[in-house]
Chains A and B, each alone.
Chain A
């Protein structure tokens, strides 16, 4: 790992041994924010003074009684659709420029209770959709590997800030790929957990039945540490699952011998053919997994376009419903991209929506059957490296089926893991998908992959 930027696991070990001060760690992260964020725009609201106060309190508590969790004294960030008591939460929208919540979102509350140090609120696309936009209150985040390029979204600030070492981890949200996408383009690890595992309470909705909250960090192990703090039942979220939470970190390191991985070749080889760097990453990853003792099989599902249509129709309608009042009264206060997404809701009928929800049941059953004798399935996250930030098609939802949407449709846990670098030096990634509530297996496989490959040794240039 880069000596200057520890992982959470490394920092937690040093903090517990009194070899690393949370205050010094926080100051180092703040220094990187001050040095880099003029170019990266990862933060919409930096809470530097507050972070130092929290870091000093953490340091005092740790000196007195040791760390209460591995996140104690660790600098983190929250996507700016996560409510934070007393701190502006704007959703990157003109509509909420003066919004200061009086209660924390559950995920913010849990990370605070774990002892983390909040560095601030991170850039998002407006209400977690529709980016990149250049007509919002603050500019879009830029990719730390090359600032001419896109971070993906909508957890764009989280991806950029983690990759640049401004924070050690952050919250992302994912309705059709908004954790895994920025993780892939920014070269970090991002886990969309099973639907219901992490509370959505206090997080602005994008599409109720597709929304997931999850960790983004430099490594799978760090995602495991963060997920440990986040997972668990919450009566404030009507979709919250009430299940026992395993020890995610303890599941790492057991080796992969005997595990079975299914590769959904047709997704990335025919349904939406990926570029050479992504294909090389998938092929090499498959070989790495074979070398680690897993059995590789082929998986057939419905065409990627079927999954994409199902998820997109549901997403369009649920977003239009969530923001209907403002759409009717303040449509032109939304940025252009979000506005166009909201308009689409007028053209999906109630019957269209319910046919999509019926299709969702069929597709989920199909995935369940395909995975019956597998531990995870593997496919791409994106077809290529990150494009230029000003080269994104406005109506990409109709042009490019998403590799990530299938697992929002199914609600299954899915993770983006860096699998190499393309011709332009930008990261590419693989996607690992587990069975419901089997995050421990996904994390175990991702962790083994990271440790068997050199990709975690390389940070963006200039970081």
Chain B
């Protein structure tokens, strides 16, 4: 289970991103932070330190077989 975001962390992340939100927007956004955290958990699998990220550009010839 993702850890709920604290008010302090929430404000810090918004400030770091340079976003100026209304109180209503902040309240709504807080309701979906858990959804982001759940997605972030879901992409973490046991893969070890050597696993490379996907290449953005171009399929290798082996992908085309």
Contacts and interface: CB of A to CB of B under 8 A. Distances in A.
A356 B43 contact: yes
Nearest to B33: A347
A358 B53 contact: yes
Contact of A362 (B45, B57, B65): B45
A424 interface: no
Contact of A360 (B35, B54, B59, B65): B54
A87 interface: no
Contacts of B43: 306, 309-310, 313, 352, 355-356, 358-359
Interface residues of B, number: 38
Interface string A324-340: 10011001000000011
Contact of A239 (B18, B52, B57): B57
Contacts of B57: 196, 238-239
A196 B64 CA distance: 14
Interface in A182-203: 194-196
A437 B17 contact: no
B59 A241 contact: yes
Contact of A355 (B36, B44, B55): B44
Given A313-B43, A343-B21, A362-B45, A436 B63 contact: yes
B53 A346 contact: no
Contacts of A313: 36, 39-40, 43
A196 B25 contact: no
Interface in B10-65: 13-14, 16-21, 25, 28-29, 31-33, 35-40, 42-45, 47, 51-59, 63-65
Contacts of A32: none
Given A239-B56, A361-B53, A436-B59, A355 B40 contact: yes
A309 B38 CA distance: 8
Contacts of B56: 208-209, 239
A16 to B, nearest CB: 35
Interface string A366-409: 00100010000000000000000000000101100000000000
A154 to B, nearest CB: 20
A365 to B, nearest CB: 9
A348 B47 CA distance: 20
A345 interface: yes
Given A239-B57, A306-B42, A328 B32 contact: no
Contacts of A358: 43, 47, 51-54
Contact residues on A (Cβ < 8 Å of other chain), bracket = 35 or more
A50 B47 CA distance: 57
B34 to A, nearest CB: 9
A110 interface: no
A364 B63 CA distance: 9
Contacts of B28: 340
Contacts of B36: 313, 316, 344, 347-348
A260 B58 CA distance: 26
Contacts of A397: 35
Top 7 nearest A-B pairs (CB, nearest first) are A398-B35, A346-B17, A328-B18, A357-B53, A309-B39, A361-B54, A360-B54
27 contacts: A195-B59, A196-B58, A209-B56, A241-B59, A306-B42, A310-B43, A312-B39, A327-B19, A328-B17, A331-B19, A331-B21, A343-B21, A343-B29, A344-B36, A345-B17, A346-B13, A347-B5, A347-B33, A354-B53, A357-B53, A358-B54, A359-B44, A362-B47, A362-B51, A398-B32, A411-B59, A435-B64
Given A313-B40, A342-B19, 17 more contacts: A239-B56, A309-B39, A310-B42, A312-B39, A313-B36, A340-B29, A343-B25, A345-B17, A358-B51, A360-B54, A362-B51, A364-B63, A372-B65, A398-B35, A398-B38, A411-B59, A437-B59
Interface of A: 194-196, 208-209, 238-239, 241, 305-306, 308-310, 312-313, 316, 320, 324, 327-328, 331, 339-340, 342-349, 352, 354-362, 364, 368, 372, 395, 397-398, 411, 435-437
